[in-house]
Structure 1
Amino acid sequence: MTAITFQAPASRRAVLGALSAHLLVALIALVGIGGATRVMEAGLACPDWPLCYGSLLPGRQMNLQVFLEWFHRLDAFVVGVGLLVQAAVSWWWRRELPRWVPWLSAAALLLVAVQGGLGALTVTLLLPFSVVTAHLVTALLLVAVLSACTQVLLQEPFTTPRLPSSRRGWLSMAWPWFIGAVALLALAQCLLGGLMATQWAAGRCLSSGEGCGWLLAHRLGARPVALAVLAAAALVFWRRPPERLLAGLAALAVLAQIALGVMSLRLTLAVPAVTVAHQLMAAFLVAVLAALLSRSFLSPSLQEFSHG
């Protein structure tokens, strides 16, 4: 009886953790599909919403553009249902889960509802750049919340108590705020990129010299964000060994993001796969930074800054 008492919560936590991790992967893929829909100018390929040409499956009108928009909506619906299930189950099991899980699951469900509304407005209002940008930023916020929730679920329960604040160094206490600032910088850079992309500023700048201010702002913003992410990764490798994998992923992601950005400009945006990969990598970077932020608040390894 004792074994069952202690194993049941761990089993339920593992099940929810697996569901959250799968939904996170699906959500990052969904951001990539959304990027492909925009790059291929398929945002209005289905002229109505939520159906497509008045049908669940528009067989007669199906082409690449219609497929992208239709599949984007289908994937969003599946992810939304998954988040609804996760939120309901986490609240049902809330007494056996970390206290933040139900709240993060509810926040993710709220964001996906907002995202659905913005998706509808992008079609009914004929793709206004402000709504399309809000649609992208909301998707990235959803990625961040779900990534944090996944880390809370997958994190091993504390086996050692944290040190009191008086015995921890200033660096350990400032660390969560530093990671939070880096994550906000990355989100701000994504917002700049979204504003640039939804106004087709890069293409207009390269072809006719218009809209270059957005492109310049995005390129200038990339430097401090990259330096901040690399500095955070270096600090993790120095004093937080349990999080070195996440730090390595963050460093690789930001370097790949810079390379993809440069490549897309040198190719004059003529290769859609590179542009889509740039947006996909942005979502992955946000997910990794959110995971680091979550672990910085929850992990007992905060002690490592004042030891070793």
Structure 2
Amino acid sequence: MSRALPQSEPMTDLPPRVTIYEVGARDGLQNEKGVVPTDVKAQFVRRLVAAGLQTIETTSFVSPRWVPQLADATELLADLGEVGRGPLRPVLVPNERGLERALEAGVGAVAIFGSATETFAQKNLGRSREESVEMFKPVVKRAQDAGLWVRAYVSMCFGDPWEGPVPVGQVADACAELMDLGCDQLSIGDTIGTGTAGHVEALLAELGRRDIGVERIGVHFHDTYGQALANTLTALRAGVSVVDASTGGLGGCPYAKSATGNLATEDLVWMLDGAGVETGVDLDALVETSVWMAEQLGKPSPSRVVKALAGA
């Protein structure tokens, strides 16, 4: 597959290297209506590894009643073997039971997921923010005792479909509550894609005042309003060097109309290649993987770069 290359003009105010935290196999697939076969998921992960992605969130040990698409978490990790284990293959866990299943599968890293708003905490976790933090305490402690790396997701950091704008201080409080449990990394999520560059700058500054430095932060932007790359660039200029993205732009937000899903990994890599930032990702291989996965799902990739390079 021949393709154009972005003209590389290094930007001096960006990190020299960015870690892409790939969420396509978990966050990208979890809302798909048709169940994706386990062997297809396993091949997807292996293709992502072959394309140079290192940190790949593979699945989630949530109740099958909540997310039927990921009911095969144990089977998937068994299929992947060593490829699905270690500190660079995190899985999502909602509670101690999920952690137990993850430990039985031999994982090396886990992620918990909280909320910056009370409404979403109730809808997503069935409990208040305070109650969810209490639920996560033993999860983080047991994970740490087992030598696992732990990430904390916080959703609705840039707006909530029920509560509207979310005060920056409230978001920082929610982030601090989870990081105080001892998590290694924080991912701030623009769940409905309404964030803007100034908002990103303000939140990162407030987190810094709470002693949560950019070296412990990853950013997770949705592209509902076309702001994901602009918001990412703002975060990178502030010193963030971990960016969540989904190959092919897989995933969507059920809480935002016309949501286009996660930031596409290919779009991110194109921007970073052009800015002279290292990612270790082979864009050709990644585009080929996206085209292949789109065929498995029976729908085109929303990634602009995939469309351009694959001639879609």
TM-score (ref. length: structure 2) = 0.25
Q: Comparing both structures, which one devotes a greater share of its residues to helix? A: 1
* TM-score, normalised relative to structure 1: 0.26
Question: Which structure's CA Rg is the greater one?
Answer: 1
